Amino acid sequence: MNDRAKSQDYAYNVEKCLQLAEGTYDRSTMGSNVKLFNHNTKQQIIATKAKKPLCPSKDDSTKEGICSPTHSWDNADNIILVSVGVYYSHLAGRQIEIVPQKAASPSPPKARLLRNRATNKPGSCPPRPTLPDMFDLPSDFVLRSRGHS
């Protein structure tokens, strides 16, 4: 992150985080509210966009526009995606690519459940990363995003 103490919410989800890092994410397409799910309280919450634009438009500084790719360093979801990518790449012993979400609808919950049962032990899920494990990486470890070397 830069010199600010907190991260910001410029973009949500993998596809928009990749667009943010590429400098192609347009916050004016975001709408005024974003629906999020709080996993701690199990409730849906509404995140309201900031009154002052985070990515002011070049034409009208009072409206949202295309974000600078430097904002990806401060975006909360980008920080999480990189951290999780580093952790699971290290855990798997190979580089895990960031794959954008497909526009197709997700599989039905029952099919997803059956697929998970076939690939995992009953009741199992990936281990939860801990900070010491997450950042204890070999010195030659390199994280690369799509299209960059």
Identify the pLDDT of residue 1.
47
Q: CB within 8 A of 12, min separation 6: which ones? A: 34, 36, 77
Of 2-6, 67-71, 83-87, 124-128, the range with the lowest mean pLDDT is 124-128
Question: Euclidean distance between the first and final Cα of the chain, in Å?
Answer: 22
Are residues 35 and 8 part of one domain? no
pLDDT at 118 over 50: no
Q: What is the pLDDT of residues 27-76, one digit of tens each?
A: 888 766 566 666 677 776 666 656 788 899 999 998 899 999 999 888 88
Are residues 114 and 60 part of one domain? no
Are residues 100 and 56 part of one domain? no
Are residues 105 and 33 part of one domain? no
Helix (H, G, I), strand (E, B) or coil at 38: strand
**Considering its fold, how many domains does the chain have in total?**
2
pTM for the model: 0.53
Q: Which residue has the higher pLDDT, 102 or 9?
A: 9
Are residues 80 and 147 part of one domain? yes
Q: What angle do CA 21, 91, 143 make, to 5 degrees?
A: 25
Are residues 58 and 38 part of one domain? yes
Pinpoint the alpha helices (H) of the chain.
Answer: 14-22, 76-92, 109-119, 131-134
And the tokens for 5?
């103490």
Which residue type, as a one-letter code, is found at position 49?
A: K
Are residues 146 and 84 part of one domain? yes
Domain end point (choices 12, 39, 66): 66
Q: What is the pLDDT of residues 125-134, one digit of tens each?
A: 555 555 444 4
pLDDT at 142 over 50: yes
Q: What is the mean pLDDT of the chain?
A: 71
| Residue 55 structural domain | 26-66
And the tokens for 124?
């199992």
Identify the pLDDT of residue 58.
92
Are residues 46 and 115 part of one domain? no
| Closest C-alpha to 145, from 9, 13, 5, 19 | 19
